[in-house]
Amino acid sequence: MSTHRLRFTLNGTPRELEIAADRLLIDVIRDDCGATGTKLGCGVGICGTCSVLVDGELVSACLVPAVFVDGRSLTTVEGLAQDGELTPLQDAFIRDGGFQCGICTPGQLIAATALLREHPRPDGREIRDWMMGNLCRCTGYYGIERGPGGGAVGGGLGGSAPQVCRELRLSRAALAGRRARSSHAVR
């Protein structure tokens, strides 16, 4: 098996590793870099537990060959808080009950961080469309959905978050889509 020398940054710190070509990013993050905050869930890219950011883009670490991270910047959950200061998003998760067992939480935080970079003030629909790929067995999602709403406003149950919650009195099945996607373009 051939090996590759990877040079990348992990949460801002330059790293250099020699790894076998067939390694996956999730295993290199956890085993070689010791950053076990990122969890392995389904292993097939569905559950979102292993979500990480590569050059700011949200991906499933279980599907990314580790060699793809060469020359790029990798962000995991350990890289969110700066100098011990939690982000407003992380505060919101704690305050609003966004986690219970915690296994999906790193993935939820990474996904929500990416959401807020793309949509700094996401509405309910944007939150749902983005976050629907991160599964949670414990919370029923209400607390998780509040997170980006609360995090976006920068602290406190501010802005439209309570409003969004009231509108989201739906089961997960309904959230996920007993409706079809459609697009309609008329020239």
Partner 1 sequence: MAGGTATVLLMRQGLLRPAHVVSLRTIDGLSGIARTPQGGLRIGAMATHRAVERSDAARGYSPALVDAFASVATVRIRNQATVGGNLAHADPAQDPPPMLAALNATITVRSPRGERTEAVETLAVDHFTTSLSHDEVITSVLLPPILPGTREVYLKFLPQTADDYATVSVAATLRFADDATVADVRIVLGAVGPTTIRAKRVEDALRGARPTPERIRDAAALVRDEVDPLDDLRGSADYKREMARVWTERALAALTR
Contact status: 132 vs partner 1 (CB under 8 A):
yes
Contact status: 88 vs partner 1 (CB under 8 A):
no
Q: Are 164 and 123 in contact (CB under 8 A)?
A: yes
Instruction: Show contacts with partner 1 in window 5-24 (CB under 8 A).
Output: 21-22, 24
Q: Are 150 and 157 in contact (CB under 8 A)?
A: yes
Would you say 166 or 178 has its CB closer to partner 1? 178
Q: Are 147 and 112 in contact (CB under 8 A)?
A: yes
Of 20, 46, 94, 101, which lies in the binding site for partner 1, with binding defined by CB under 8 A?
Answer: 46
Instruction: Show contacts with partner 1 in window 137-176 (CB under 8 A).
Output: 173, 176
Beta strands in 49-173 (DSSP E): 51-54, 57-60, 73-75
Q: According to DSSP H, which parts of 19-177 are helical?
A: 25-27, 88-95, 105-118, 124-131, 142-153, 161-167, 172-177
Contact status: 31 vs partner 1 (CB under 8 A):
no
Query: Which residues form the interface with partner 1 (CB under 8 A)?
Result: 21-22, 24, 43-46, 48, 51, 57-60, 63-65, 67-68, 111, 114, 129-130, 132-133, 173, 176-178, 180-187
